[in-house]
Amino acid sequence: QVQLVQSGAEVKKAGASVKVSCKASGYTFTSYGISWVRQAPGQGLEWMGWISAYNGNTIYAQKLQGRVTMTTDTSTTTAYMEVRSLRSDDTAVYYCARGTTVHHWFDPWGQGTLVTVSS
């Protein structure tokens, strides 16, 4: 079955970087892309961007441009999302989700990775 398994929880200091992984299985990795969506504690969902696993093309949310980088490793069918210059308001659960193109819906989702930013 199609599955996305994410890396474990992280605690980082403000100003540091964090890199979250998303291991895909059960489908042809390079035929789809991966979106990243985050959810601050008790808040709603925020789309962060999308990457094509076929050619590495990326589209980032305007708000996060310059602070986020998404990559993929086709040899291990893993997607990565890095956020730099972390701030307290980056504290959130980060989800990866499969999407054929950037306009495609998110299905399925990973289990989520809690990133806590402390000052």
Partner 1 sequence: QSVLTQPPSASGTPGQRVTISCSGSSSNIGNNYVYWYQQLPGTAPKLLIYRNNQRPSGVPDRFSGSKSGTSASLAISGLRSEDEADYYCAAWDDILSGWVFGGGTKVTVL
From candidates 53, 68, 90, 110, binder to partner 1 by CB under 8 A: 110
The residue (of 16 and 59) whose beta carbon lies closer to partner 1 is 59
The strands making up 78-83's β-sheet, listed across from edge to edge, are 3-6, 18-25, 78-83, 68-73
> Does residue 112 interact with partner 1 by CB under 8 A?
yes
From candidates 5, 9, 40, 45, binder to partner 1 by CB under 8 A: 45
Least gap, CB of 91 to partner 1 (angstroms):
17
> Does residue 109 interact with partner 1 by CB under 8 A?
yes
90-109 residues labelled b (16+ CB within 10 A) or e (exposed):
bbbbbbbbbbeeeeeebeee
Residue entry with tokens 């199609």: 2
**Within 10 Å of residue 60's Cβ, how many Cβ atoms?**
18
The residue (of 32 and 106) whose beta carbon lies closer to partner 1 is 106
92 and 40 Cβ atoms separated by less than 8 Å: yes
Segment 50-89, which members bind partner 1 (CB under 8 A)?
Answer: 59, 61-62
> Does residue 107 interact with partner 1 by CB under 8 A?
yes
